[in-house]
Amino acid sequence: MFKHIYLHHERVTFTYTTEAKEICVWGVMEQELKLRPQVARGLRIFVLHPKGRVSVTQRKLMTTINSKNVFNIAVKGSFDDCQTLVKSMFSDHQFRTSINMSGVNSINWARIVVQIVYYFYSHFRLSEKNKKSVFSVPTGNFGDIYAGYVAYKMGLPISKLIIATNENDLLYKFLRTGIYKPSKVKFSISPSMDIQVASNFERLISSYYNNNSRKISELMKQLAIKGFYKISKNILRRIKNIFYSKSVNAKNTKKTIQLVYNYNNKILDPHSSVGLKALEDYYSGNSKKFENLFCLETAHPAKFGETIYKILKKNPTIPSEISKNLKKKEFYKVLPNNLNKIKNYINTNRLH
């Protein structure tokens, strides 16, 4: 998507969600080593992850890339801290333009566009005729499920989108009260969902307020000053027409992994387990409805081998592409949750 830019200009790209990080880093390596080295020459990728808050395998899939284009940063903080750092850099016009900054996770609309596709694919490939579809989506930053909402707005016959959350139940509470109030992050066995500030949720709220930028600015100002905002009962009712939410704790996440394995010898990763449990909860109250039921799996269980072993006393099969990276040397820099220090590190390592 960016390749025509890389040929003549430097571009600094950021990512800070675990799955996006791995895709972005490996994508650059493919460009650099196999396809068009001149394309990657002008690109620098800075990858932020919360130090000690991702699994060992997740971390090594990012940090074992030995490339002059890739800079991994372990931030002493949470995912939300990483997200705030990147947003702050985007908000700094002078800094953003000086490094030709971009992003590749769901902060970038292009990521949402790509994710819309598999909602259509799943429905038309697997749905029974004349049935509407229900999608349960393990949710952290609200990007994947927002893509489902866009698919719904485009006309895909979706009857419900299930926001499946772990103990970080910000959106579950929102659907009950209409109050969006982030709290302290709770670290869990499904770390990619350990988020209290769901960036893409602002996009959803904007759509329900007819993209009224003044109103959205007002809500965001309330969030910044008071620590929360509240939407009208009418808007909440309309949101609940299409969205449902369930918060799944660690106990039920583990139980679901065990039940699925006992049933068919399939191993779910913790995030997918949250999604399936939320779908089960929805179905228990809607079993008479004529609907197709989908649960989106979001990661390979091998990424969370330590957690899986504790639950099943069995290690998941590790794909060769993952296992070979577990033995490699890691390359990353530990930095504090400090915007100026992150900027200085970027400026030091960018093209000049």
pLDDT of amino acid 299: 87
pTM of the model: 0.87
Tell me the C-alpha to C-alpha distance, in Å, between residue 143 and each of 113, 201, 340: 10, 8, 28
pLDDT of amino acid 66: 84
Residue 2 in this model has a pLDDT that exceeds 50: no
pLDDT of amino acid 325: 84
Element spanning 86, H or E: helix 79-91
DSSP conformation class of 333: E
Q: Give the tens place of pLDDT for each residue, 298-330.
A: 889 999 999 999 999 999 999 988 888 888 999
Residues 6+ apart with CB under 8 A from 207: 149, 153
CATH number of the structural domain 3-105+320-349 = 3.40.50.1100
Region(s) of the chain under CATH 3.40.50.1100: 3-105+320-349, 109-310
Average pLDDT, the chain: 88
Q: Give the tens place of pLDDT for each residue, 289-301.
A: 889 999 999 889 9
Q: Which of 185, 167, 191, 198 is nearest to 53 (CA)?
A: 191
Residue 28 in this model has a pLDDT that exceeds 80: no
Residue 109: band (very low, low, confident or very high) from pLDDT cuts 50, 70, 90:
confident
- Dist. CA 257–CA 242, nearest whole Å: 27
Residue 336: band (very low, low, confident or very high) from pLDDT cuts 50, 70, 90:
very high
Helix 250-264 and helix 270-286, axial crossing angle in degrees, nearest 10: 90
Q: Give me the amino acid identity at 66.
A: N
Residue 210: band (very low, low, confident or very high) from pLDDT cuts 50, 70, 90:
very high
Q: Which of 173, 167, 180, 170 is nearest to 206 (CA)?
A: 180
Residue 199 in this model has a pLDDT that exceeds 80: yes
Strand pairing report for 229-230 and 179-180 = antiparallel
Residue 24: band (very low, low, confident or very high) from pLDDT cuts 50, 70, 90:
low
pLDDT of amino acid 4: 42
What is the CATH architecture of 109-310?
Answer: 3-Layer(aba) Sandwich (3.40)
Q: Give the tens place of pLDDT for each residue, 5-20.
A: 333 345 566 655 555 5
pLDDT of amino acid 14: 61
- DSSP 3-state helix, strand, coil percentages of the chain (rounded to 5)? 55, 15, 30
